[in-house]
Amino acid sequence: MKLTVIHESDTPDSKLIDAVSNGWPHILASLVPPEVVYWRPCRSTFRDIAMIDQLPALALSCGVLVLAAATRADEPKAAPKSDAERATLMVPTKIAATYRGGELLELRVRGRMAYVVKPTGNVDPQKRWLWEFPFWLGVNDGFGNLQHRNYVEKALAAGFHVAGVDVGPSCASLAAADVCQAFYERLVADHGLHKRARIMGQSHGGLIAYGWAFRHPTCVAKIAGICPATDFRSWPTLPNVVSFPVKGLDYGLSLKELEARATEFNPIDNLAPLAKAGVKILHIHGDEDKLVPMSANSTELARRYRALGGAAEIVVLPGLGHGGSELYQSEPLLRFLLAD
């Protein structure tokens, strides 16, 4: 494990995440709000970020950031845990959270964790709802932090429900899309939610979200991407598409077989059904994102989608990499998701 210490001025810098080591930490850090990552032991903004050089594929592809506790030099250090143990701590093993204006209901769908959050105030007459990808951004992570609290609580205040289902790092697989569809059908049938979901996919969650959406386009109203992966050749690359998903949610193909059939499964190659169904798309993406490049995953998607007659907008975040507070406080994204 490597500890990277970054000294900054008193002004918060959204590019902080890009200052740490290249590679995997970028996608992990994108799913942890700044207040979780940083601590300030002195007047100047002195921030310690502990980054894991390598984590198990499952933890990485779920977008898990595992933080080692930063300690002062005169404090005793705890016995080190393995990378797998740290990853396990970050991934929630149960559904739990409290919300201002919301009530959490835990569900199980095909043996997978799932939930729906009901607004406790006025309920949207159409019972519109937001769907979180990956699921745990809308509930407490393993350290008790609700990373999308801003988005979730503002949606609840507008009368929207919020929901999610755990399909792991499934990379847009058909098996995962089938679980998502079973979850969708349950929410519509048992909870009376709107038949066209509003999707929010962050980082790897973009692949999961689009992987369900292009197979069920008439079930989707809008897709909001937060630095989303949409081309699995760009991230996580084809070898990892084969290895990341757990058994039962995987492709069941060899690398050679996936290479031959990639366009059949890759979200960015399957946009026509969404355009035909009138699904609206908005992405927010940093133009300095090196791990999930904006050009390959957002700009190119928007170009193709518009060529198909669809409506797609990209909110470019200048100078931002794969992380930063802007990803958690986007007013354009909220307006898009909650507008009629």
Domain annotation for the chain: domains and CATH numbers: 2-89 (no CATH), 92-338 (3.40.50.1820)
Q: Is 25 helix (H, G, I), strand (E, B) or coil?
A: helix
Q: Among residues 60, 52, 63, which one has the least CA distance to residue 30?
A: 63
Query: Cβ-count burial of 271 within 10 angstroms (0-12 exposed, 13-18 middle, 19+ buried)?
Result: buried
Question: 28-67: per-residue pLDDT in tens?
Answer: 444 444 444 433 333 233 222 233 333 433 344 444 333 3
102-109 sheet: strands from edge to edge: 102-109, 112-119, 161-165, 129-133, 197-202, 220-226, 280-286, 312-317
Given a cut of 80, is residue 238 above it in pLDDT?
Answer: yes
The predicted-structure confidence for 140-189, as pLDDT tens digits, reads as follows 998 899 999 999 999 999 999 999 999 999 999 999 999 999 999 999 99
Question: Which H or E element spans position 222?
Answer: strand 220-226
Place of tokens 């060899």: 254
**83-129: per-residue pLDDT in tens?**
556 556 767 889 999 999 999 999 999 999 999 999 999 999 999 99
Which amino acid belongs to residue 225? G
Does the global pTM surpass 0.85? no
Asked whether 22 and 54 are in contact (CB, 8 A), the reply is no
pLDDT at position 82: 59
Query: Which residue's entry shows tokens 């350290």?
Result: 143
Give the phi and the psi of residue 226 in degrees, each rounded to 5: -115, 105
